[in-house]
Amino acid sequence: MATFLTVSGSTLPDSCIEHVLFTQVVPRLAGDGHETRHLAVRDLPAGALLHGDADHPRLTAAAQLLAAADGVVIATPLYKASYSGLLKAFLDVLPRRGLVGKAVLPLATGHMVSHGTLLHEALRTVLRSMGATAVVPGCFLTERAARSLEAPQYVGACEQLDRGTALLRRATARLSAQQAAAVRSVA
């Protein structure tokens, strides 16, 4: 079974993005016996993040969590039309090609629907620059939708989460099969 890591770039434990991760994304990914782990970047030492101290033991442990994951959800609130500075600081201390061999689902919440294009521009570009093998189409939810997913008017947001997590599971399975085939052909 696959191991998925959710990475939250939110500064607040009760943020919309955290709500979506724990009530919607993790249950969808944990099905079929998959393991899910969570990394809240806000729990990492701020000084080490801001100084780019990749050798700090807690940042090394976070990088190892990422390396051990088959699939990754990079989740962030959008502030002033950009992903969080906290997430940016974390991505900057990771190894340059830290996402090679990984399938990644970008996930964001924000105030305005028009900010959803950031998933396709800035965040996807960063993930690809880090070598993400598969970046599946991201999910963007307005904060109102994120807090009210059970309301009938947000059925489209739930379908978007269904589609995004299903694509992540499929991409992860495909990459695992390719890696296993490569190992068999070498042996």
Quick one: CA torsion of 166, 167, 172, 177, rounded to 10 degrees?
100
Identify whether the C-beta of residue 2 lies closer than 8 Å to the C-beta of residue 33: no
Residue 147 exposure: Cα atoms within 13 Å on the Cβ side: 8
Q: Distance between CA atoms of 18 and 23, rounded to whole angstroms?
A: 8
The mean pLDDT of the chain is 91
Q: pTM of the prediction?
A: 0.93
Mean pLDDT on 55-83 = 94
In sequence order, which residues have a C-beta less than 8 Å from that of residue 142 and are 6 or more positions away?
Answer: 109, 110, 111, 112, 113
The pLDDT value recorded for residue 80 is 79
Domains in the chain: ranges and CATH: 3-186 (3.40.50.360)
Question: Are 12 and 80 in contact, with CB atoms under 8 Å apart?
Answer: no
* 187: pLDDT strictly greater than 80: no
Q: Could you give the dihedral angle defined by the CA atoms of residues 25, 161, 149 and 26, in that order, rounded to the nearest 10 degrees?
A: -10
* 25 within 8 A of 7, measured Cβ to Cβ: no
Q: Give the mean pLDDT of 19-29.
A: 95
* Position 154 confidence tier, pLDDT thresholds 50, 70, 90: confident
* Beta pairing class for 82-83 and 103-110: unpaired
CB-based burial of residue 167 (10 Å sphere; 0-12 exposed, 13-18 middle, 19+ buried)? Answer: middle
**CB neighbour list of residue 60: distance below 8 Å, 6 or more residues apart:** 54
Give dist(CA 42, CA 177) in Å, integer.
34
Mean pLDDT along residues 86-114: 93
13 three-state secondary structure: coil
